[in-house]
Amino acid sequence: MLMKRRNAAVKVARELFALEKAIDAALIQAAELSAVMPMATAEANLSAVVIQDAFERSAATFAALAQARRCVIETHHCLDDTKVRIGLKTLAFGDDEKVPPSGALETVEPAERRAA
């Protein structure tokens, strides 16, 4: 019985992590689109008015994805609680990297500096 629960939890965790990764990829893509629109408008020597509606839609898409990310994180927390309730308290998923303490800020160096 415990093995069936463990196997089910592994399947759910695998899909949860895939969803988290997909949402993050979509957030990155939405941010890149929002960033390139004003640059392209300036390069084409066009008024900001020309792209404003599309820019606002792109920004709304980013906001919706940010909300989706919050929902999937809440799902993650609920599933952690469920794991304990069904007797899988010691089962761990994901990588071995520790979560930084609450409020801790981490400085991320740009990739081009790390490569140098």
Decide if 102 is inside a domain: no
Per residue of the chain (116 residues), what is the pLDDT tens digit? 889 999 999 999 999 999 999 999 999 999 999 999 999 999 999 999 999 999 999 999 999 999 999 999 999 999 999 998 998 876 665 554 554 444 444 444 444 554 55
Q: Residue 100 and residue 102: Cα distance in Å, rounded?
A: 6
pLDDT at 104: 43
Decide if 60 is inside a domain: yes
Q: Residue 86 and residue 22: Cα distance in Å, rounded?
A: 28
Decide if 6 is inside a domain: yes
Taking alpha carbons only, the member of 76, 67, 54 closest to residue 23 is 67
CB 55 within 8 A of CB 37: yes
Decide if 116 is inside a domain: no
- Overall residue count recorded for the chain in this entry: 116
pLDDT at 1: 80
Taking alpha carbons only, the member of 100, 99, 80 closest to residue 90 is 80
Q: Residue 68 and residue 39: Cα distance in Å, rounded?
A: 27
pLDDT at 92: 61
**Type of residue found at 116:** A
Biggest alpha carbon–alpha carbon distance for the chain: 67
pLDDT at 2: 86
Total-model pTM: 0.72
| Structural domain that includes position 78 | 2-95
Tally the domains of the chain. 1
pLDDT at 95: 53
Decide if 75 is inside a domain: yes
Decide if 11 is inside a domain: yes
